[in-house]
Structures are given as C-alpha cells and as structure tokens.
C-alpha cells in the first residue's frame, strides 16, 4: 500500500464502507508497509466500542456462544464486529480454522463483520495485529467487538490487555478446567460462563467456580465476578449473559476503570512496539556482523561467550541512546 493511499482508505472506512474495513484489517494483519500510519490515523476515531473477550478451554463452546451473542446484539439493534483468533498454520502463518460457517446465525447480516485472524505464535493467541484490528472495527463504528481466543491455557491472560470485559467459558464436569483457573485465568475473568449447562455436572461446576471466586483476593470497590449458565446451541441463557456484560460495562464507566484500562492498554501497546522495533534493530546489527551462525561458531570454538557477544552487539546501540538523551 502506497503511503498516499492510507488517507483514502481511512476516509472510506470512516464512511462505513465494509470493503475498506476488510482491506484495512488485511494491511494490519500482514504488517504491510505504511500500516502504522494507517493505525495512527484511526486512533482519534476510537474509544466508543465495547470490547468483550471470550476465552476458555477448547471444546467449551466459544464459537457457538459468540455466534449467538452476535445474533442477540443484532436483535437489540447493535452492530457487531467479531475477531476469531485461530491457531497459526505452521506453513503460512495464516489462520487454519477461520470459516464464515462458524457464524451461521448472522452469515448474511452486513452489520456483523467477522474476521478470522492468525495467532502468529503470540502467547495466549493474541497478536499485536489483533489489537490494531480492534481499533479498525472501533473506528468503523461497531457498537460491540467480540474477540474469541484460541484457548491456550494460562497464557490466555493476554486477552485482558485488549478487552474491556473478559468472559471465561468452562464446560460442566470439568474438574481439570476448574483447577486450571487457579493458574491465572481466574484473576482475569469478569464473568464466568458454564456453557452446555444442560449436561450433567453443570451445578457442581457452578458451585466450584463460586467457591473459588469467594477466595479470590479483590480490592475494595472491585467488580464482583458473576457465574452464569448458558446453553449456546439453543440460545438459552444468552440474554442473561449479555445483561451481565452490560452491567460490567456500566460499572467500568461509573468507577472510572474503563479509562484506567485504556491507559494500561496504551502502555502495553507502546512497550510491545518498542520491543518489536528494538528486536529488528538487533537483527540488523547481527546481520551486519556476519549473522548469528558466524557468531555462534565463535562461541562454539570457545573464543567468546553469549554474554560477551550480547554486550558487544548492544553496546553501540546503548551509547547512541545515551548520546541522544544528552
């Protein structure tokens, strides 16, 4: 994408053209030249959408629930954007599960924009590109943005950096899954959903979750996580689930936590971008020194150590930064 094309693309996106939205997200996902200018131009138009993260173990029914959520939101007159973060193809880096069929209830609805994105090896299934895609949907004017994650266990906590509200799905009779929550996901969930609640063992799972949440250490004034039951296949409990999500959104606004989350998110985005840029600089420096393999051969020969090589590579970069500060 030529740099001069970015303003036109942003203008079309802001005008509500779905093709421009799709092209923008493609540019973002591919990290095409000029994508940063594109995202920067979207920033002033963001901040209105409510972002919900849906996470949980594989098989908990995330895709089915997201489909029913989108349908219910549309019935309420709201526009919806869905980003389904899928496992990366080991060959192309692209999403391997993405399929419009998974949104069968809204497949013909132009006010539901569905996009499957590759996790690109990012911990928790979320990449920087996903956060930028959320900005595109937000700037486009979507009322609700849903992020459905891979379900990669403890590392799924990455979703909290992108979503305003996090819902954790737990299938019934899943003692192992409930125990897994203690490892980290318990702390990020604002709502816990026992999906497939028509199956045996759902009552026990609800009780276990509530007991665990009672032991969770929260500060005074924090949101008290709720446990809801749904049967996504039939849509049972979905309306009640959305009501809880709305209640959390209202609490975020009333408590000032939404702004605090936005501040934290911007800080994390800045750190991630700086890490990416610094990594690229280091790779360029390594290439200029003959490449990693040549340096490793010197380590193998006992001529130096990894620590000495690292210090040697970083030193001129550090000196340059020191000089800039002075």
Instruction: CATH number of the domain at 233, please.
Output: 3.40.50.300
Are 100 and 226 in a shared domain?
yes
Q: What is the pLDDT of residue 91?
A: 44
CB atoms within 10 A of CB 269: 17
Highest averaged pLDDT of the listed ranges 29-38, 76-85, 175-184, 187-196: 76-85
Let me know whether 86 and 215 are in one domain.
yes
User: What is each CA distance from 118 to 121, 127, 138, 192, 212, in whole angstroms?
Assistant: 8, 8, 20, 25, 33
Question: Which residue range forms the structural domain that includes residue 272?
Answer: 266-325
Same domain, 168 and 220: yes
| 123, 207: one domain | yes
In this structure, are 272 and 309 located in the same domain? yes
- Of residues 304 and 212, more confidence is placed in 304
pLDDT score of 54 more than 80: yes
Please check the confidence at residue 22 and state whether its pLDDT lies above 90: yes
Residues 141-194 pLDDT 10s: 999 999 998 765 545 666 667 899 999 998 887 555 566 665 567 778 899 999
- When divided into structural domains, the chain yields a total of 3
Nearest to 268, CA basis, from 62, 57, 54, 123:
123
Q: How far is CA 149 from CA 17, 83, 119, 140, in A?
A: 26, 8, 9, 22
Claim to verify: residue 63 and residue 118 sit in the same structural domain: yes
């Amino acid at each position: 994408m030529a740099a001069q094309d970015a303003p036109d693309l942003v203008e079309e996106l802001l005008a509500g053209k779905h093709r421009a939205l799709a092209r923008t997200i493609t540019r973002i996902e591919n990290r095409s030249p000029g994508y940063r200018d594109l995202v920067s131009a979207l920033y002033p138009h963001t901040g209105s959408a409510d972002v919900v993260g849906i996470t949980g173990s594989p098989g908990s029914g995330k895709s089915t629930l997201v489909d029913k959520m989108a349908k219910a939101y549309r019935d309420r007159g709201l526009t919806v954007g869905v980003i389904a973060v899928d496992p990366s193809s080991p060959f192309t880096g692209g999403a391997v599960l993405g399929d419009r069929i998974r949104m069968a209830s809204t497949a013909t609805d132009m006010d539901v924009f569905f996009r499957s994105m590759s996790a690109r090896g990012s911990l928790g299934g979320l990449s920087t590109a996903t956060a930028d895609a959320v900005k595109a949907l937000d700037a486009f004017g979507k009322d609700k943005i849903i992020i459905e994650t891979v379900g990669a266990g403890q590392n799924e906590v990455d979703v909290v950096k992108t979503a305003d509200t996090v819902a954790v799905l737990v299938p019934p009779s899943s003692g192992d899954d409930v125990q897994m929550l203690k490892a980290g996901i318990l702390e990020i969930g604002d709502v816990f959903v026992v999906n497939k609640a028509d199956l045996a063992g759902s009552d026990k799972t609800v009780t276990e979750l509530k007991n665990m949440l009672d032991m969770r250490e929260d500060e005074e004034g924090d949101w008290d996580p709720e446990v809801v039951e749904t049967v996504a296949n039939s849509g049972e409990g979905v309306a009640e689930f959305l009501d809880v999500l709305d209640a959390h959104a209202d609490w975020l606004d009333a408590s000032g936590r939404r702004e605090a989350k936005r501040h934290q998110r911007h800080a994390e985005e800045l750190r991630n971008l700086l890490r990416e840029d610094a990594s690229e600089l280091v790779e360029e420096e390594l290439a200029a020194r003959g490449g990693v393999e040549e340096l490793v051969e010197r380590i193998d020969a006992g001529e130096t150590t990894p620590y000495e090589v690292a210090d040697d590579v970083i030193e001129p970069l550090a000196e340059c930064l020191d000089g800039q500060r002075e």
